[in-house]
Amino acid sequence: MLLNDLSSGVDLRPVRYQFATVRGDSYDDDWLVIAGTVMTPEGSWSFADPCLLTDEARQVSTWLRAVAAGTVDATQPDAEGELSPDTSFIEPVLAFSLANRSEDGTAVIRIHLSLEAAPPWQQGDGGADIHQYVVEVRMDAAALLHAADQWDLALASFQPR
């Protein structure tokens, strides 16, 4: 699934279960390794990390569709300037929030990248800035729906085990 505009982009895809064989633990059996490639004016990098459970991964397309439909509210930094995503997961590696929406329905979404997904120049800081590094991309409803469809297609072979 590619979330991008003319200046930045994040390409995310599920690549495998963390553990190839079912171990009999309903929690551990469902971790997915998510690979990402990030392109920003600051630099580009890639990551791969077991950061989403199968049911969490399905929430991503649901959120994208809700943004496209206009039912997600934009979030702003708090009084201290900290960002809080409106869609986050057990592992704080990836998260999402809506920065703003224009009159024509175009949305600026934030992809929050922390820990293993953070840019190389921010890794190793002990996780002090969880959810604070974001890549913002401007996308219209059709592009958001296309990304959601692509994500669902990529997840089709990764059912809960």
pLDDT band for 105, please (50, 70, 90 cuts).
confident
Q: Is residue 139 part of a domain?
A: yes
Q: Is residue 21 part of a domain?
A: yes
pLDDT per residue as tens digits for the range 19-64 = 988 988 878 899 999 999 999 999 999 999 999 999 999 999 999 9
Helix (H, G, I), strand (E, B) or coil at 144: helix
Distances (CA, A) of 64 to 26, 94, 121, 127: 27, 14, 29, 26
Q: Report whether pLDDT(109) > 80.
A: yes
How many CB atoms are closer than 10 A to CB 98? 20
Q: Is residue 35 part of a domain?
A: yes
Q: Is residue 121 part of a domain?
A: yes
What is the spatial distance between Cα 88 and Cα 93, in angstroms, rounded to a whole number?
A: 9
Look over the chain and give the mean of its residue pLDDT values, rounded to a whole number. Answer: 94
**Rounded to 5 degrees, what are φ and ψ at 156?**
-55, -35
Q: What is the mean pLDDT of residues 131-148?
A: 97
pLDDT per residue as tens digits for the range 66-83 = 999 999 999 999 999 899
Indicate the residue type of 31.
Answer: W
Q: Is residue 161 part of a domain?
A: no
Q: What is the mean pLDDT of residues 116-131?
A: 80
pTM of the model: 0.94
Residues with Cβ < 8 Å from 136, sequence gap 6 or more? 8, 99, 108, 109, 110, 111
Q: What is the mean pLDDT of residues 9-20?
A: 96
Give the chain's domain count.
Answer: 1
Enumerate the H helices of 4-124 as residue ranges.
54-69
Boundaries of domain holding 83:
2-155
Q: Is residue 160 part of a domain?
A: no
Q: Is residue 55 part of a domain?
A: yes
List the CATH number of the domain containing 123: 2.30.31
Q: Is residue 51 part of a domain?
A: yes
pLDDT band for 127, please (50, 70, 90 cuts).
low
Strands of 134-139's sheet, edge to edge?
87-88, 94-101, 107-113, 134-139
